[in-house]
Structure 1
Amino acid sequence: MIFRSAFPDIEIPSLGVYQYATRNINGIDDSKPLIIDGVTGAEMTFGEFKRDSKRLAAGLQDKLGLKKGDVVAIFSPNQIDYAVVFFGIIAAGAIPTLANPLQTPNEFQAQFCDSTASIIITHPLFLATVFEVAKNCQFPLSKIFLFGGEEKDGIKPYTELLGDREAEPVVFTKKEIKEQPAFLCYSSGTTGRQKGVMTTHYNAVANCEQYKAFEEPKLNPNLVFMGLLPLFHIYGLFILSVSLSSGATIVILPKFDLTLFCTTIQKYKVNLAHVVPPIVLLLTKDPTARTFDFSSMQVFTCAAAPLGESLTKEFYDLYKVPVKQGYGLTETSPLTHIDITSNPTFGSVGNLIPNLEAKIISEDGKELGYHEHGELCVRGPNVMKGYWKNKEATDACFDSEGFFHTGDVATVARKYFIVDRLKELIKYKGFQIAPAELEALLLTHQCVADAAVIGVFVESEVTEYPVAYIHVKPGIEQTDELKKDIQKFVAENAAPCKKLRGGVVFVDKVPKSASGKILRRQLRDRVKDDLAKLNQLVGI
């Protein structure tokens, strides 16, 4: 059966992302602070945001010849002016691609080359990575610019691009709004190769409107959002867009620090915070958090990974602030489900958002009904156009009815519950890790003959840890020192989120099917036999 949202359909405005963010439907004044740096206290007003984003658009067009449809890479942690750069690129008619600055040079190079970016805007701390990629790709240093306002190692700040004029933001046709990518976030594929997700202007605007349609409290300019989530991630970018288009204020933090997070809530009287499960865990378990004033908070929304029912209840008992769950993917812009603030159901990801349809299917493709477990598939205006320059991957994830197959196992009662995952992706604190990517890296280690990686859920951290199962080469002794060396090897050659925090396990052979596919379920069953021990692993 086809499940439809219990909420009435809403009208999706035919607007580009820039026009949507700046249309000022709530009539705020240009002097209203829209973005605050939670570390320095610096503020950016609505007027400054519009002015500088349009000046950047002018500079990109006039000084660098940026054209409609070109791609610009942003390789940076959260900044107060991240929004200026992101929306300035879009105002110029171009497409930002957003990259995790903690990627290794090889990882960033793969995304950079796949996206065909012609300009890079980065942070001074990550210039070494960008320089290595530029050298490998014979990319001109004159096309690299910095956040921060100062020149470093011959690289000029992006502020030198700001034009004397304010460009008139490019207006897209109705057809382009539905077909032109507004931006490219990259999603880890189970094959190990990251894929560029083409989120169109229509997708992004639709998802903001779907969220606003029944979010509680109703979004308005008096609200203050917590801007903690990485802006290179679709989740963080979505919250930024919702806040800006509502005329609300968002306080940007560069990364999570418990004291800074709690101080920010107290100092700026934050009302809405969107987080991931490990943050909920820390707020619950660390007594430091309870010394701060959270009375301004109206709701915590948790997504990116499942949140247990017991932890949800414990959090509410401590703070008397509801923590509700949502669900989505990069491919769905990102939200598909969210619970109701006034009546959250512990353990549920809530309701299907307006304008969205879903079905639950069995392994043989049969449509299932209520209380049956199967793969969740969704269809609606927020579902991506497809993967960037990858028709094969696009065709593989959409069925003949236009439903996107999420790879997650769900069941529908009164609300939706995510119960398992068909995809092999490991979710570590909101980051997605492709096992095949780590396996390919492990096979380059001089002592490794074969490798398989799975994710193990660690209850004490409310997240998954990657565990590597290693078959060593003949004559190699299986020692604790070798385990540590393999962990170190991965730590030095992959992004920090991909460390083998779950450890290394030696095996006589990696279980595989006749076709050579790794039988990960056998490894997961093996893990269950010693789960208590694995759940004691913290911060390896």
Structure 2
Amino acid sequence: MIHESKYPDLKIPQVGIYQYVTSNPNNIPDDKIIYLDGITGKSHTFGEFKHESKKFAAGLQNKLEFKCGEVLAIFSPNQVDYPIVLLGAIAAGGKVTTANPKYKATELSHQLIDSGASVLIVHPEFLVTAIEASREAKFPTSRILLFGDKEIESYKPYRSILIGEREIEPVSYSPEEAKITTAYLPYSSGTTGKQKGVEITHTNIAVNLTQLISSDRKLGPHSRIMGILPFFHIYALTAILHAPLIHGATVVVLSSFSIKTFCESIQTYKINHIYAVPPIILRLINDPLVQQFDLSSVNLVISAAAPLSDELEKEFYKMFKIPIFQAFGLTETSPLLHHSDTTKNAVPGSIGVLAPNLKAKILSEDGRELGYNEPGELWVHGPNVMKGYFNNKEATDAVFDKDGFFNTGDIAFVDEQGIRCY
């Protein structure tokens, strides 16, 4: 039995990521702040982002002879220049692989080698690890540049090398090219095995942004979003780095989580929309320090990356009177797959509604299609599902069937209200 989304299909964007996020359907003025550092107050307006990212792209091409299809790696915690580097590389026709800043040198080295990265942009705090990884990967030190404005041991800030006066016209893609051209290479272990590069195309991201924005129409230029989730992860990459460029919200960027800084930022900047994970919800419930801050500006929390128990969700609402809706997805689905029903009569926390343009089926271990209330493996099909695992045909073939359905590896069942994951 094939289960389809209850929502009508959305029109699939016919352009590359950069063109899509700068298309400005909501008439955002160029002086609107999109990214704001919650600690230093440094910011980038919509106009500054466009100019800086196109200058970064020009610098890549002129100074480093960066070609279409080359891979740029980012090794950094959250910070306000991250989207300029990320989307500047996309504007130059490149791919971007985002690395977890907590990686050890051997893990970073594996990702650099496996992705074929030719440029590495590093946060100064993690330069030592990056240098060690670059030695293991035989990565040229001349192609390692820093965030920030200080030179460290002959490693130079990217701004001093790449940012000049010239801007490029961002590389564009036909609809067919956008469907097959890889933009991002985040790394995931998938359902099993070692870390693999997940080929996310321009269309995958553009479609998932459309799905994401359609599921939460409350977001707009009035919104202030908490930017605490790690930018290297597909969840934040889509919802926090890309989506605000379309709906015009302001992201308050924090590089690391502490209850004090988190709550101070909500109180200071009147944050009203939070993307979170269950451990953050748990800390907010259990830490008495939270009670010293005014969190009344928050009107919605979206929890994802892991299931949130009914008990925690009810306890959170009891304490703060803030609804939590849950979303479910994977790196391989760019990431949104299904989410709580956000219609007027929905119950917060009830996971289950497939995003638009998606189909799903539940299969038994022996490959039989199951009906209602029969638990089995969840398989999905849609335009936000990855192209495949990078340079790994065996792993790719193992997760797709002959009809193009992707095996999520999750156990789920379908009832009258939607999909329920265990």
**Which range, TM-score by smaller chain?**
over 0.9
The farther-off stretch of 62-71 and 347-356 is 347-356
| Deviation for aligned residue 1:346 | 6.0
3-state DSSP of counterpart to 2:220 = coil
What is the CA deviation profile of residues 463-522 of structure 1, one whole-angstrom value per residue up to 9, with x for unaligned ones? Answer: xxxxxxxxxxxxxxxxxxxxxxxxxxxxxxxxxxxxxxxxxxxxxxxxxxxxxxxxxxxx
Alignment partners' CA distance in 2, 1:190 and 1:8: 30
The answer on whether the counterparts of 2:340 and 2:349 sit within 8 Å (CA) in structure 1 is no
Superposed, 1:54-453 pairs within 5 Å as 54-160=54-160, 161-189=162-190, 192-217=193-218, 219-239=219-239, 240-341=241-342, 342-345=344-347, 348-413=350-415, 414-419=417-422
Q: Which has the higher contact order (CA 8 A, sep 6+)?
A: 2
Q: CA RMSD in A?
A: 1.3
| Deviation for aligned residue 1:412 | 1.5
3-state DSSP of counterpart to 2:185 = strand
Alignment partners' CA distance in 1, 2:406 and 2:300: 30
| Deviation for aligned residue 1:43 | 1.5
3-state DSSP of counterpart to 1:62 = helix
3-state DSSP of counterpart to 1:279 = helix
Alignment partners' CA distance in 2, 1:201 and 1:189: 20
Q: Which amino acid aligns with 2:381?
A: R
Fraction of identical pairs, as percent: 52
3-state DSSP of counterpart to 1:118 = strand
Alignment partners' CA distance in 1, 2:250 and 2:63: 32
| Deviation for aligned residue 1:316 | 0.7
| Deviation for aligned residue 1:287 | 2.3
The answer on whether the counterparts of 2:276 and 2:302 sit within 8 Å (CA) in structure 1 is yes
| Deviation for aligned residue 1:371 | 1.1
What's the TM-score once normalised by structure 2's chain length?
Answer: 0.97
Alignment partners' CA distance in 1, 2:348 and 2:412: 15
3-state DSSP of counterpart to 1:372 = coil
| Deviation for aligned residue 1:245 | 1.7
The equivalent residue for 1:34 is: 34
Alignment partners' CA distance in 2, 1:78 and 1:390: 29
Q: Which amino acid aligns with 2:212?
A: Y
| Deviation for aligned residue 1:101 | 1.2
Alignment partners' CA distance in 2, 1:230 and 1:372: 35
3-state DSSP of counterpart to 1:74 = strand
| Deviation for aligned residue 1:29 | 1.2
| Deviation for aligned residue 1:337 | 0.7
The answer on whether the counterparts of 1:374 and 1:411 sit within 8 Å (CA) in structure 2 is yes
Give the 4+ runs in structure 1 shifted more than 6 A.
Answer: none
The answer on whether the counterparts of 2:340 and 2:348 sit within 8 Å (CA) in structure 1 is no
3-state DSSP of counterpart to 1:280 = helix
Unpaired runs of 5+ in structure 2? none
Alignment partners' CA distance in 2, 1:347 and 1:252: 26
Q: Which amino acid aligns with 1:252?
A: V
| Deviation for aligned residue 1:416 | 2.0
Alignment partners' CA distance in 2, 1:191 and 1:371: 26
| Deviation for aligned residue 1:343 | 4.5
Alignment partners' CA distance in 1, 2:138 and 2:197: 22
| Deviation for aligned residue 1:32 | 0.8
The answer on whether the counterparts of 1:324 and 1:339 sit within 8 Å (CA) in structure 2 is yes
The farther-off stretch of 334-343 and 304-313 is 334-343
Q: Which amino acid aligns with 1:393?
A: A
Alignment partners' CA distance in 1, 2:178 and 2:191: 30
Alignment partners' CA distance in 2, 1:360 and 1:350: 13
Alignment partners' CA distance in 2, 1:109 and 1:174: 34
Unpaired runs of 5+ in structure 1? 420-540
The answer on whether the counterparts of 2:30 and 2:45 sit within 8 Å (CA) in structure 1 is yes
Q: Which amino acid aligns with 1:380?
A: G
3-state DSSP of counterpart to 1:310 = helix
| Deviation for aligned residue 1:174 | 1.7
